């Protein structure tokens, strides 16, 4: 079975896959801004270049696409039939890189949170999770 697109069309489709300022990232940023959180984007000096960084809270947030990072939801568990070996290797490398970045950030004293693309379906639930994340972090940083 061959690809349904010509090589030129496939190349065009893959070029449109963005690495930053994606729809899911913008949604999480909008919710964080509504909660009054202040943050920085894609700090290159941190391992894994987290999508959202809150330096004062020592908190990083990665917004992962379920397919690209191998989430255990239905979308993340789907493996394309075409070039299956490539995609299994690609997602496996992404997961290994994510684990290494998380470990390096935690070793440096950062708290790491991951928001999955499928969590955006329940915006109220995600807002509650982000609120809890910010409140837990602020209680950690308050000193007597």
pLDDT higher than 80, residue 70: yes
Say yes or no to pLDDT of 139 above 80. no
Highest averaged pLDDT of the listed ranges 78-82, 104-108, 134-138: 104-108
When mean pLDDT is compared across 13-22, 39-48, 135-144, the lowest value belongs to 135-144
Asked if 128 and 76 touch (Cβ cutoff 8 Å), the reply is no
Average the pLDDT over each of 30-34, 54-58, 122-126, 134-138 and give the range with the smallest value. Answer: 134-138
Backbone angles phi, psi at 34, to 5 degrees: -65, -30
Q: Name the pLDDT band for 140 (thresholds 50, 70, 90).
A: low
Helices (DSSP H) in the chain: which residue ranges? Answer: 7-15, 23-34, 66-69, 74-77, 84-107, 123-141
Right CATH for 19-138 from 3.90.730.10, 3.40.50.80, 3.40.960.10, 3.20.20.10: 3.40.960.10
| Domain residue spans of the chain | 19-138
Please give the share of the chain, as a percent, with pLDDT higher than 90.
61
Report the Cα–Cα distance between both ends of the chain, in Å, rounded. 66
The percent of residues above 70 in pLDDT, for the chain, comes to 93
Q: Which two tokens stand for residue 83?
A: 């070039």
Neighbour tally for 127: CB within 10 Å: 15
């Amino acid at each position: 079975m061959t690809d349904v697109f010509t090589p030129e069309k496939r190349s065009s489709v893959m070029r449109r896959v963005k690495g930053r300022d994606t729809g899911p990232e913008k949604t999480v940023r909008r919710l964080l801004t509504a909660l009054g959180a202040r943050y920085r984007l894609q700090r290159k000096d941190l391992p894994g270049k987290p999508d959202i960084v809150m330096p004062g809270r020592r908190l990083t947030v990665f917004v992962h696409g379920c397919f690209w990072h191998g989430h255990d939801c239905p979308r993340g568990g789907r493996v394309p039939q075409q070039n299956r070996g490539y995609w299994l290797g690609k997602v496996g490398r992404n997961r290994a890189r994510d684990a290494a970045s998380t470990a390096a950030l935690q070793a440096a004293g950062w708290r790491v949170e991951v928001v999955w693309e499928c969590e955006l379906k329940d915006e109220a639930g995600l807002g509650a999770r982000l609120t809890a994340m910010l409140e837990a972090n602020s209680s950690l940083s308050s000193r007597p």
